[in-house]
Amino acid sequence: MRSNAMRAALALTALAALAGCQGKAKQDNFVHADEDYFHDMDNAVALTREEVQGRNMWLVWSGGNDRFWDFMNKPTLGGFDLLKIVAPDPNGPNRRDNRWRQLGIVNEPCFAAPARPDQFGLWRDQRQTSCPPDPFANAQKYPGVKSGALGRVLPAGSFYGEPTGIVGLRLFPNPDFDEKARAAWDGKRYYSDPNYYNRKDLIRPYRVGMSCGFCHVGPSPIHPPKDPEHPTFAELNSTVGAQYMWVDRIFFWSPNPANFMYQLVKTYRPGSMDTSLVSTDNINNPRTMNAVYSLGPRLEIARRLAHEQLGKGSDNNRQFNEFVKDGPLTRYFNAPRDVWTPHVLKDGSDSVGALGALNRVYINIGLDSEEWLKHFNPVVGGKPISPITIESARKNAYWRATEMGTPATALFFLKAARPDRLSAAPGGAAYLAQDAALVAQGRDVFATTCARCHSSKQPDAPPAASLGDPIGADYVKRFHAWWRWTQTDDFKSRMRAIAARPDFLDNNFLSSDIRVPQTLLRTNMCSPLATNALRGNIWDNFSSETYKDLPSIGQSSYQDPFTGRMLVYTMPAGGRGFTRPPSLISLWSTAPYLLNNSVGDFNGDPSVAGRMKMFDVAIQQMLWPERRPRDGETPNATGVIDRTTARSFFFVPQSWIPRLPGTSPEDNALLKSLVNANGDISIGPIPKGMPVNLLASFQPLAESANPVAIARHYHEVLVALVELKRLLLTLPRGADDAALRAHFAPMRAKLMALSKCPDFVVNRGHYFGTAQFNQQHGLTPEERSFGQEAPLSDDRKRALIAFLKTL
């Protein structure tokens, strides 16, 4: 795809830009590591020097975010502590030898469980003497930046930090750990005494930085580890995604079911997380950590179907053209505003180009937290959100170095992010159908039913149904025309012919990457309702004007979690309401399914046999939706609702209580009545069995610039919370959870009315090819407007499954 000359040009351009910083602050002298330390990973693909730099950046560059992850202990009330993940309690459940089974995170080769604590009493993994030194910890080649106490108490070390024994987490000396902090440090109490380790003023000896690899490295599907607790580099892949990660167990190293925040993260199924949890949009929205596959074909489909226009702020994103002067990578941007862009986030909001999407990830995991945290109230929310601008981020040396380095990461993806076919996995052939006619039948079913959303090779649409222009406000109208065309015999016959070609799967991204209205998908609406990329919100600079101009998709149906009635929600305009289809590359290895891993069963086994067991259950639930689990409490439930597993309390510490603008004396009195003797807000007990999202998606902020509307919304929020607290204070003594839920019942309607996403059923939707697609009861006119389609017979579904195994 790329010539060596083009690759060299990109590397030289990036290095020259870095060299140009020599006259600035010393922090700008970051050098992206070129040691091919991870050469056995990614199926031992041969990489050029710049591709090696790109992989190293993906796996070990944390961009100074150790400051942020150290801070995160505070808003989570001591629940989240990465230092306790890399240096776990020797008597606790998260030790190295069962880390994979317990947490689903990847142990780095060349380390063993500690035999003794370090100088600070911390039980850190020990590097094996048989392995060469970690090259990225070379402080002479990669000198760290000295600031504050750093260098007086602890050496500055490398700006890549030290390895921790966990892939994607790096250890740094804490610049705040001065003589006073050292005198107050007690390693034993750090593990055993909550009154000690939850202190707001506790300063730890180390900070932990996180690279992108922490959420994207996983066991190789085609070279699976013999022992997942002790993998080799040859058994790992940089881009398959952390499909097995238990985020709830990482987020709360010591589970506390009485903390409502723990009940919230319990809704994160393995391999999923809410990437907006920190820069919260007040919607509980866990989504899968997807694999990165076939970037080249994905860019090509963007050229055909994802032409968008940038605007003020978003036009500051770097583009490939700034690093490469000729060749295919120059085809995705025309100055000053036109960009052809993959839609990386599931709601299709990352829309400023592939490089902008890569760069944004680093801010989202804590780069430039000195600035980023000024724009929102982390985790808890309640503070009006403002955009972080690329202009302000460029004042940060780590951000400038990141912008220089991500082009090399893109080159690495172009080379290494290849499909993992079941046929290439050990024993994989035994799972593939031997009947060529059956597979061919399944391929035809795929072509006529699935390929319109899940193939990047498609016939060209008629001009009136084309989605390739930056159509913005007319998108829904154009999408309906396109959908109707895909239902015609013309599309289906041409699509079957394309699918029958021997090279159909070659360089096929197996997604159209377009924005699909939720009214067609009928999946849970919380992801399409995400607000972080809207105009004026935190990611304003990372979404296009085309995205911000998108119209409303109309009304969508959802089920009341208490009565079972089908209700109607009107989707707002401005970007919300859409989901981009996932790629089906290596579908056999990525179950469970849907955007939140809610369809199928999870078994934690990364072997070929383990993956196929998950595939078999999940694909049957996808194609026979009547086999999906249902909620046991909602009448005529359409699917699963995540509920609290124990009585819990919603807690907001005093330092995080928002200062509400324009509040009246009455509202200030209401707010004061919510706080306890310590000045904190504490609401509960919340009964076992309550829908988690009733509070997790509660909307504290008004979505309006009108001062009157803002004041009215804050008043409604405060009245609801005060009424809820007073109601819970009048509980009958000794009431069980059923009685507690009944006592809670008068608040249901008021809390639902203040929900930012009232749809609590997590495993619904995507009924294509099934009889459920044609059901009419409870649907809105917009949902019915997509028409009906003949459902697949059981035999045709089984043929489709035979074909899907080959992807």
Q: For residue range 548-606, what is the model confidence (pLDDT) as tens digits?
A: 999 999 999 999 999 999 999 999 999 999 999 999 999 999 999 999 999 999 999 99
Residue 6: C-alpha distances to residues 13, 52, 324, 805 (Å):
11, 16, 7, 36
| More confident site: 725 or 789 | 789
pLDDT in tens, 320-363: 999 988 887 889 999 999 999 999 899 999 999 999 999 999 99
Residue 222: closest CA among 430, 43, 38, 62: 43
pLDDT confidence of 526, banded at 50, 70, 90?
very high
Strands 111-112, 681-686: pairing is: unpaired
Collapse the DSSP code of 25 into the 3-class scheme (helix H, G, I; strand E, B; otherwise coil) and give the result: coil
User: What mean pLDDT is predicted for residues 280-294?
Assistant: 91
pLDDT in tens, 356-397: 999 999 999 999 999 998 888 777 666 778 999 999 999 999
Give yes or no for a contact between 197 and 168, defined as CB atoms under 8 angstroms apart: no
The answer, yes or no, to whether residue 306 has pLDDT greater than 70, is: yes
pTM: 0.91
Partners of 648 in the β-ladder: 686
Give yes or no for a contact between 78 and 116, defined as CB atoms under 8 angstroms apart: no
State residue 510's pLDDT score. Answer: 98
User: What mean pLDDT is predicted for residues 466-491?
Assistant: 93
Query: How many whole angstroms separate alpha carbon 475 and alpha carbon 516?
Result: 10
Strands 566-571, 578-579: pairing is: unpaired
Residue 224: closest CA among 610, 511, 500: 610
| More confident site: 405 or 681 | 405
| More confident site: 492 or 330 | 492
Residue 7: C-alpha distances to residues 4, 48, 505 (Å):
5, 8, 26
User: What mean pLDDT is predicted for residues 411-431?
Assistant: 97
The total number of residues shown for the chain amounts to 807
User: What mean pLDDT is predicted for residues 207-223?
Assistant: 97
pLDDT in tens, 593-612: 999 999 999 999 999 999 99
User: What mean pLDDT is predicted for residues 83-94?
Assistant: 93
| More confident site: 439 or 682 | 439
Query: How many whole angstroms separate alpha carbon 208 and alpha carbon 85?
Result: 10
Residue 263: C-alpha distances to residues 260, 511, 680, 692 (Å):
5, 34, 20, 7
State residue 11's pLDDT score. Answer: 37
Query: How many whole angstroms separate alpha carbon 304 and alpha carbon 682?
Result: 52
pLDDT confidence of 791, banded at 50, 70, 90?
very high
Give yes or no for a contact between 454 and 510, defined as CB atoms under 8 angstroms apart: yes
Query: How many whole angstroms separate alpha carbon 319 and alpha carbon 519?
Result: 33
- What is the CB neighbour count within 10 angstroms for residue 684? 17
Query: Which range scores top for mean pLDDT: 31-35, 143-147, 223-227, 716-720?
Result: 223-227
Query: How many whole angstroms separate alpha carbon 739 and alpha carbon 727?
Result: 13
User: What mean pLDDT is predicted for residues 153-160?
Assistant: 73
Residue 307: closest CA among 344, 352, 349, 358: 352
Query: How many whole angstroms separate alpha carbon 774 and alpha carbon 799?
Result: 22
Residue 597: closest CA among 346, 784, 768: 346
Query: How many whole angstroms separate alpha carbon 19 and alpha carbon 450?
Result: 49
Residue 578: closest CA among 511, 454, 704, 479: 479
Give yes or no for a contact between 212 and 63, defined as CB atoms under 8 angstroms apart: no
- What is the CB neighbour count within 10 angstroms for residue 95? 16
